[in-house]
Structure 1
């Protein structure tokens, strides 16, 4: 019998790792350019959540370089593991399972985390739990409050923009997704046009908040009944406005463009999310992903949810960006159902959220 098969049998019989009343999940996240290790008790109590960011390394290139990201993960992984265990005040022998981001993400970056997690699970003789990155972003909300089902999750991050229906715990149904650039990608591309460094999202958000005038830009609603998104045309509209001003010998209104761009993005994503909540009978709205830290987006969604009488959960900024605590929160869904992964787990850069459902 395989090691994971033995652990599953133990759990089913009420012995071994599945039988403990208090349990510790060690989680690893390396999907892009953050190396993170967390230790979480009972799926909700964060004992440690160490993150090593590579922003300074990639800034000089204007974006994430996959090969460099992978090498940085290799250099940092052991240190993050040691610091997470030390900060949590536990021993590695106390760990009941090891969770890891299996996908989606950069294949080289994912591989570093998967190899580390498999090695650790084997050495500690505990179950391995392959985890979906977006499920992590969604269940980061579970670290700060109770999720009420059915719920709508608005996922806005560097590589993903999706509206997800959670009819019940751990069941994901994607209602809409971006057809081209994700929100985070659009922010970075517009920021580059506005002469901001990488990552540009926070700079655009700040400039938009400070602007007194708005350069009105188009809204891409797509088909009337669609929950999908498209932001490539909006990015092109910003570039066209800049070029038009320069051809006239004028200085482009960067602050007005930042505000116009942000207003267009926010109106479309929040409008579709609220419509999805109304049409599905959702009882709660969840905001998830790195762009959930955007001040303008948070404030507008709060207003709309209050008007609709819809409870809203938004994680603090430190849980919006990529981190391992959110991976532990999602992995807890699998832990409680004894749905463990085998040691031949593979990194999957394109991993279906719906297929990962418990």
Structure 2
């Protein structure tokens, strides 16, 4: 069996993925990096250390499959965004493994950005990349970006047209979760608590100008609510997600006014059930085609990279 290997070593997850020549996931292995209780992140050196420990474990998990398979190509994330000034040491761990494996196996190596990997993870579930430009929104622990993407020979040529002017939606959610004594990353825990509140709590106003939203004001407001001790944690989680949605809705309004007809939504924050539902309703009401990642593939994973390797090798057939 021919397989294509994707490797991603992001800020909070070590990921390996194998896809076949039909772009189906053969294996998907990940380890979330450990953050001390009460912590709100990791240093780059700690990320590199944990990725270095995790990668052999993940390859050992894949050993049974790899013993029966033939790796035809490898793709790896090597920077956060495809820009000359985009750099993060965490990606060196995965890049080193990818270069060594490609050299030993004598197979092609493709490099792409973490952001491209996320958007391609959505496109993999569609089974093709296409040639038409599209709009994207990338929502993660460190990123809230509104994008225009054009498929090209290297992956996706991405231009940022909006997003956050300060903290990301993911940082807002994580900081509120940590303040409520939830584990970090807090997204999944905030989501679960918020789902117990019906109807959702109305969120705070989010300032938006020229396609840039600001979550720092609502975060300060939320921290004061937590410190007061008078608010139910589940309702605060619901308020947090509703506030995030108000910011995202402003970004979508900006993109719709710019002519958006097709949106690809990616990143760990798009695992959130409430935000997926709200975005789906918005796009349906505005006649916008929305593509979301398959279940489990919004959060950090290497399926987009593996998909890209398969697509590139398929062009040679």
**TM category, shorter:** 0.7 to 0.9
| 1:334 CA displacement | 5.8
Check the 8 A contact 2:7/2:76 in 1, yes or no.
Answer: yes
SS in 2 for 1:199: coil
Structure in which a larger fraction of residues adopt strand: 2
Q: Which residue of 2 aligns with 1:267?
A: 246
- For residue 229 of structure 1, give the secondary structure of its aligned residue in structure 2: strand
1:257 aligns with 2:225: no
Deviation readout 1:180-233 (Å, 9 max, x if unpaired):
21111111101122222222122222222322576655322322xx22222111
Q: 1:203 to 1:112 in 2, by over 3 A?
A: same
Are 1:27 and 2:6 matched, yes or no?
yes
Alpha-carbon distance between aligned partners in 1 of 2:26 and 2:63, rounded to the nearest angstrom? 9
More helix by share: 1
* Counterpart residue number, 2:42: 65
1:230 has 2:206 as partner: no
**2:18 alignment counterpart:** 39
Q: Runs of 5+ in structure 1 lacking a partner?
A: 1-21, 339-358
Q: RMSD of the TM alignment (CA)?
A: 2.7
CA distance in 2, matches of 1:62, 1:130: 32
SS at match of 2:112: strand
TM-score, structure 1 normalization: 0.76
SS in structure 1 at match of 2:208: coil
Superposed CA deviations along residues 153-200 of structure 1, whole A, max 9, x for unmatched, are 111111111111124563322111322211111111011222222221
- Over 3 Å counting, the alpha-carbon distance change for 1:190 and 1:281 in structure 2 is closer
- The reply to whether residue 276 of structure 1 matches residue 260 of structure 2 is no
Q: How does 1:58-97 map to 2 (within 5 A)?
A: 58-60=35-37, 62-66=39-43, 67-84=45-62, 86-87=64-65, 90-91=68-69, 94-97=70-73
Structure 2 CA distance for aligned equivalents of residues 333 and 173 of structure 1: 22
Q: Deviations over 1:98-135 (max 9, x none)?
A: 21110129844322111111111111122221110011
- Displacement of 1:141 in angstroms is 1.0
- State the distance in 2 between where 1:46 and 1:214 align: 35
The secondary structure found in structure 1 opposite 2:10 is coil
Change (3 A) 1:163 1:88: farther
Counterpart in 1 of 2:164? 178
Distance 2:100 2:170 in 1: 33
1:307 matched to 2:293? The reply is no
Distance 2:39 2:22 in 1: 36
**C-alpha distance in structure 1 between counterparts of 2:195 and 2:302, whole Å:** 31
Structure 1: how far apart are the matches of 2:142 and 2:294?
20
- In 2, Cα distance between the equivalents of 1:138 and 1:128? 19
CA change 1:112–1:238 in 2 (3 A) is same
- Determine which structure has more spread, i.e. the larger CA radius of gyration: 1
Secondary structure at the counterpart of residue 326 of structure 1? helix
Report the number of matched residues. 305
| Structure 2 CA distance for aligned equivalents of residues 173 and 337 of structure 1 | 26
Q: 1:132 maps to which residue?
A: 113
Superposition TM-score, scaled by structure 2 size: 0.85
> Do 2:19 and 2:310's aligned partners in 1 also have CA atoms closer than 8 Å?
no
Deviation at 1:278, TM superposition (A): 4.8
Gaps of 5+ in 2: 81-85
Q: 1:216 to 1:300 in 2, by over 3 A?
A: closer
